[in-house]
Chains A and B, each alone.
Chain A
Amino acid sequence: MSSRQKVNILLVDDQPAKLLSLETILAELEENTLRAESAEEALKFLLTHEIAVVLVDVCMPRVDGFELAELIRDHPRFQRTAIIFISAVHLTDADCLRGYSVGAVDYIPVPIIPEVLRAKVAVFAELYRKSNELERVNAELKQRVEELDQSNERLRFADRMATIGTLAAGLGHDMGNLLLPVRMRLDTIEACAGLPAPVKEDVGAIRKAAEYLQRLATSLGLLAMDADSEQPSEWGTDVAGWWKETEGMLRTGVSRTIQLRAEIEPALPPIGLGKAALTQIVFNLIQNASDALAGREDGRVTLNATTSEQPGKVLLRVTDNGPGMSDTVKHRCLEPFFTTKTRGLSTGMGLALVGSLVRRAKGTLRIETEQGKGTTFHLELPCAAAAEAERREPAKRHVAEVTLRDPRLRAHVSSVLEAMDYEIRQGSLGEARLWVTEASSHIEFDQACQFAAGQPARRAVVFGATLDYQDPDRRVLCLETSIKPSALRKRIQEVLSSH
C-alpha cells in the first residue's frame, strides 16, 4: 500500500444498523469512516474534521438529508466536500434532481451494490486527496515565487550596487590620475622664486580645491570597496585622520540645510575596523539621519567618537534631531530590505549593511530613539588589536644585525624588521637579538664569536660554523637570496619563535 494520506468519510443515517453496513462495505477502501446518527451530529463532525465525502440518508427525522446538504453547501469551507445521497424511497427523477440541486454529486438507490458504492466513494476520496495535494503544491509554488521575487530583488540590488561601485571606483581612480599632474604642476609653479602675491594666492586656492577633490577621489574608492573583503590593518583606523579624508564625501550624502559635525576625542585610540567599512557605516547612518530630517531647516547630525567605559572599546555615536522611530521601525530597521522610504529612494539595505559590518568587527549596535526628539545609533567597536596591546604593554625595541650583500633583500628584511619594531644597527652583533645573514656566504668566525659572546648556553650550526650563545632568545637567520619578499615575515617569525 502506498503511503497515501487517509481521508475522512462521514456516514450519516439515523439507523445504526445501516451505518454499520455502510462501514463494512467501505472498510476495503482503507479510509477513515466517521458515524453520525443525526444531521446535528454530522454538522459537528464537519466543523471539527476535514471531510472528503459525506454519505447521507435522505430520510431522517427532524433535519432530512436534503436540508443537511443545503446546510453543508452554505458553508464555504465545505465547497469541496462530496455529498452522496443514499435512499430507499424518493427515487423519482424529481427527487434525484432536488438532490443534485442542493449540492449532491451522486444519488444512490437502495439496495446498495457494494462494488458500485465503493467505486464511487473511492473516486471522490481520491479527488479530494488530489485537490488537497494540488492546494499544497499551489501554496508551495506561491512561496517559491515569493522567494524568487525576493532573490530577484536582491540580485537587482547587488547588480545596482556593483554598477555604482564600479562607477565610483573608476571615477575615483580617474580623478586621482588627473589630480596628480595638477598637484605636480602646482608644486613646480610654487617652486618658482619671486611669484607675485596674487599668483601665490591663486595657486593656494587651486591647491586647496585639488586637495579636496583628492580626498573625494580617495573616499569614493573607500565607498566603492567591498568592505566585507577589506582586511583591516592590525593598527586599525584613526578616526580623526579618517574624518579629515572623508568629510567632504560624507557631506555630499546630506542635504545642504543640515548641519553635519564631528566631535572626536583627542588621542582616541584607533578602532579595529578598516577605512572602507568605517566609511560605509557612517555614510549610511548619516544618510539615514539626513533622510529623516528632510525638509527641516534646523536639522543636525553629529558624529561623536569617544573612548568607551568598556576597556579596549571606542564608542561611535551618530545622532540626529529628527522625528525618531516607532518601536516597530526601531526593532526592524536593521533587517535587510526593510525601509520606510519610497522603494526608488531606498534599497532598504543601508542599515542592514551597517549592522553586518559592525557585527563583523565584533562590535555592538544599540539604537536610542524618542519620537519627536531624534535618534542616536550607538556603536561600540573594539580598539585595534596592536594599538590596544601597545597601550597595555609598550613594545620593547630589539636590535637586529642584517649582513646581506643583496641590497634589495637587505631593504626588504630591514623593512619587515622595522615593522616588527626592530632597530637595525650595523656592528651590533654583541647585543643583537636577531642576526640575519646570507645563506650563500661564509660566516666570518670572529663575527660568530662576537654574536656568541658570553658563556655558552645554546648552540646553533650555521653552514659548518658552530655558534654557541648565551641568551636563549637570540637567533640567527640564514636567508637564501632567492627568497620571495612575501615569505620573509613568516620566515623571520618562525626563527624568532623557534626553540
Chain B
Amino acid sequence: MDAFEEKSLRVLCIDDNAMVADALRRRIGHENGLEWVGVVAGGADIFERVVAANPDIVMMDIDIPGVDIFTVLERLTAECASMRILMFSGYVSASLVERALDCGAWGYLSKNDDVSAVIEGIRRAGKGELALSREAIAARQARQSQGE
C-alpha cells in the first residue's frame, strides 16, 4: 500500500497570487485528509523553502516572476522523490503539459476547472495516480493524435 494513502496529505502552494493561495488554504482546510502546509510566493530560495516545509503535494503555478519553474520542478523531483508536484495554472497547452510531466510533475490542474476537480486531482496524486484536468487531457491527446 502507498504510504500516501495512510495519512493526511500535506499540501503546499507555490503561487504569487495571494488571493488564489489564500482561498486554496481556506478550501483545503475544509477537506478531510488534506492539510495546508503553507504558501511560497516566489524568490530565489524557493527550492529551499519548499524542501524545508516538506509537503506531500506541491501545487505549483507555472508563471512565477523571476523563477524558472521547470528548473525548480526538475530539482524537486530529483532531490525529493516522495514529493508529488502538481502544476496549477490558468494556461493549459499540450507543450506545457508534456514539459511539466517530462520534468517530473504528477499532474497538471487547471485554474479554470471546478474546485472539486482540483481537490479530486490532489487526492488522485496522493493515491499515486496521474492528476490531469480535462483541458490537460484534451491538449495532450490532441498532440498525441497529431503525432501519430
Name the residue on A nearest B132 (C-beta).
A415
Shortest distance from the beta carbon of B139 to any chain A beta carbon, whole Å: 8
Question: A461: CB under 8 A from chain B?
Answer: no
**10 extra interface residue pairs, beta carbon distance < 8 Å, beyond A176-B90, A184-B23, A407-B2:** A176-B111, A177-B20, A180-B23, A181-B23, A185-B23, A187-B30, A218-B112, A231-B143, A233-B141, A419-B137
What are 25 A-B contacts with C-beta separation under 8 Å? A176-B90, A177-B111, A178-B19, A180-B23, A181-B24, A184-B27, A188-B27, A218-B112, A231-B145, A231-B146, A233-B141, A233-B142, A234-B141, A235-B141, A386-B145, A408-B84, A410-B128, A411-B128, A411-B130, A412-B130, A414-B130, A419-B141, A484-B102, A485-B98, A490-B147
Task: Kindly provide the distance from the CB of B94 to the nearest chain A CB, expressed in whole angstroms.
Answer: 7
Which residues of chain B have C-beta atoms less than 8 A from A485's C-beta? 98, 101-102
Q: A191 contacts which chain B residues (CB < 8 A)?
A: 30
Query: Which single member of B22, B24, B145 contacts A234 (CB below 8 Å)?
Result: B145
Check A223 for interface membership: any CB of B closer than 8 A. Answer: no
Complexed CA–CA distance, A386 and B129 (Å): 25
Q: Does B80 contact A (CB under 8 A)?
A: no
Distance (Å) between the CB of A241 and the closest chain B CB? 10
Which residues of chain A (226-271) have a CB below 8 Å from chain B?
A: 230-235
Query: Looking at chain A's contact residues, is the secondary structure mostly helix, strand, loop, or mixed?
Result: helix
Instruction: Tell me if B115 and A414 are in contact (CB < 8 A).
Output: no
Q: B115 near A187 (CB under 8 angstroms)?
A: yes
Question: Whole-angstrom distance between the alpha carbons of A495 and B110 in the complex?
Answer: 33
> B132 contacts A231, CB within 8 Å?
no
**B27 to A486, Cβ gap below 8 A?**
no
Per the 8 Å Cβ criterion, residues 125-181 of A in contact with B are 173, 176-178, 180-181
Q: Given the complex of chains A and B, what is the CA–CA distance between A181 and B24 in angstroms?
A: 7
Q: Which residue from chain A places its CB closest to the CB of B82 in the assembled complex? A: A407
Known: A183-B115, A485-B102. A177 touches B26 (CB 8 A): no
Is A355 at the interface (CB under 8 A from chain B)? Answer: no
In the complex, chain A residues whose CB is within 8 Å of the CB of B144: 489
Residues of B within 8 A of A233 (CB): 138, 141-142, 145
Within A290-320, which residues are at the interface with B (CB < 8 Å)? none
Q: Are B17 and A177 in contact (CB under 8 A)?
A: yes
* Majority secondary structure, B binding face: helix
- The distance in angstroms between the C-alpha atoms of A489 and B114, with both chains bound, is 28
Residue of B nearest to A234 (CB): B145
Complex Cα gap A367–B27 (Å): 52
How far does the alpha carbon of A110 sit from the alpha carbon of B101 in the complex, in Å? 98
List residues of chain B with CB within 8 A of the CB of A287: none
Q: Are A188 and B26 in contact (CB under 8 A)?
A: yes
Min CB distance, A482 to chain B, in Å? 11
Say which residue of A184, A230, A490 sits within 8 Å of B24 (CB atoms): A184
Closest to A183 in B: B115
In the bound assembly, the distance between CA atoms of A218 and B138 in angstroms comes to 15
Say yes or no: A184 contacts B26, CB within 8 Å: yes
Q: Is A324 an interface residue (CB 8 A)?
A: no
Give Cα distance in the complex from A240 to B94, angstroms: 24
Q: How far is the CB of A239 from chain B (nearest CB, A)?
A: 15
B36 within 8 A of A: no
CB-CB < 8 A to B94: which residues of A? 231
- Contact string, B103-146, partner A, CB cutoff 8 A, digits 1/0? 01010000110111000000000001110100001100111111
Please, what's the 1-or-0 string for A414-430, where 1 marks a CB less than 8 Å from any CB in chain B? Answer: 11000100000000000
Minimum CB–CB distance from B21 to chain A (whole Å) comes to: 9
Asked if A214 lies at the interface with its beta carbon under 8 angstroms from chain B, I say yes
B148 at the interface (CB under 8 A from A): yes
Task: Judge if B91 is at the interface, Cβ distance under 8 Å.
Answer: yes
CB proximity to B under 8 Å, residues A467-499: 484-486, 489-490, 493
A285 within 8 A of B: no
Q: Which residue of B lies closest to A407 (CB)?
A: B128
- Pick from B102, B112, B145: contact of A176, CB below 8 A: B112
